[in-house]
Amino acid sequence: MPYEALLYYCFAPVENPVNLERSQRRICEELDLRGRIIVAEEGINGTVSGTAEACAQYREDLRKTFPDIEFKIDEVEGHVFKGLSVKVRDEIITMGVPLGTPVHLKTGQHLSPDEWREAIQQDDVVLLDGRNDYESELGHFEGALLPPLESFRDFPAWILAHREQLEGKRILTYCTGGIRCEKLSAWMLQEGFEEVYQLDGGIVRYGKETDGAGFVGMNVVFDDRVLVPPTPAHEPITHCRECNAKSANYVNCANVLCNRRMILCPGCEESTSRCCSDECRNAPSLRAKNAKLRA
């Protein structure tokens, strides 16, 4: 049976997030969908997997509440989530700074994948990666600013500290599926940056609708697949820290107290017992199984 993974969001006022949370849980259970859904007064953000038939029904249902919602659809082998989580939060993507005007009313100008492909070749633009450091290390648009940040919440402070590099330029932001740029570009407009554009549908849509030009490496996704090449031609740009072979196998040091994030090819993962040092290999706090890389 064919399965699909859906990635979606929609910024639109939700009157009663708790009701939406309940109805989302109900329909996901009915359709045997798994994944993660966040609802808030500003909209909905989710990624789920299920049979193609169930996913089609789910899309139809969600369009009744959010007529403008767009879905990124991937064919997958089976479920790419272990369970279902539906939560109410203050924000559907947490940036932690208030917006005077909600995102659905004012955000950066959307560029289609084809428009983006053109735009990134211009001279007077600054590309800004709106993702965390480990995501941009594994893959990014060539020439982009890659903020060394571990959390989306750190972006406002980083941008204010780098205002000079960005001011007066045409700023092109991108992220995985588009949602982070919606908020980031909305906030940047509020802060007085004048020309802010965003890649509609993010790297995921760009890889589906173009040849992927300008992007190198792998795309970090939010489900069990972890890493997906945006197009079949894309390959890792990162290297194993032990043997220097090309690899995008991101793991955490097996010593829970160290937990260092590193790239180890499968062979070295085995030969090092997934430890970053002898010290960690001999530590008492080794975990049996690697915890999943968290986006």
276 belongs to the binding site for Zn ion (CB under 5 A) = yes
Residue 188 dihedral angles phi and psi, to the nearest 5°: -65, -40
| Residue 110 vs residues 7, 99, 235, 276: alpha-carbon distances, Å | 18, 19, 27, 42
255 belongs to the binding site for Zn ion (CB under 5 A) = yes
* One residue of 5, 7, 111, 240 binding Zn ion per CB under 5 A: 240
CB under 5 A: which stretch of 1-9, 147-155, 181-189, 260-268 binds Zn ion? 260-268
Q: Which residues face 43 on adjacent strands?
A: 11, 40
Pairing of strands 43-51, 3-11: antiparallel
- Indicate left, alpha or beta for 129 from its phi (over 0: left) and psi (-120 to 50: alpha): beta
Residue 266 dihedral angles phi and psi, to the nearest 5°: -55, -40
251 belongs to the binding site for Zn ion (CB under 5 A) = no
Considering the complex, what minimum distance in angstroms separates the CB of residue 91 from Zn ion? 33
- The residue annotated as part of the active site, out of 10, 28, 55, 175, is 175
Considering the complex, what minimum distance in angstroms separates the CB of residue 215 from Zn ion? 25
**How far is 197 from 111, CA to CA, in rounded Å?**
7
196 belongs to the binding site for Zn ion (CB under 5 A) = no
* One residue of 18, 160, 243, 291 binding Zn ion per CB under 5 A: 243
242 belongs to the binding site for Zn ion (CB under 5 A) = yes
Q: Would you give the end-to-end CA distance of the chain in angstroms?
A: 28
Our answer to whether residue 275 is catalytic in this structure is no
268 belongs to the binding site for Zn ion (CB under 5 A) = yes
* One residue of 48, 265, 272, 274 binding Zn ion per CB under 5 A: 265
Residues with catalytic roles: 175
What residues line the site for Zn ion (CB under 5 A)? 240, 242-243, 245, 253, 255, 258, 260, 265, 268, 276, 280
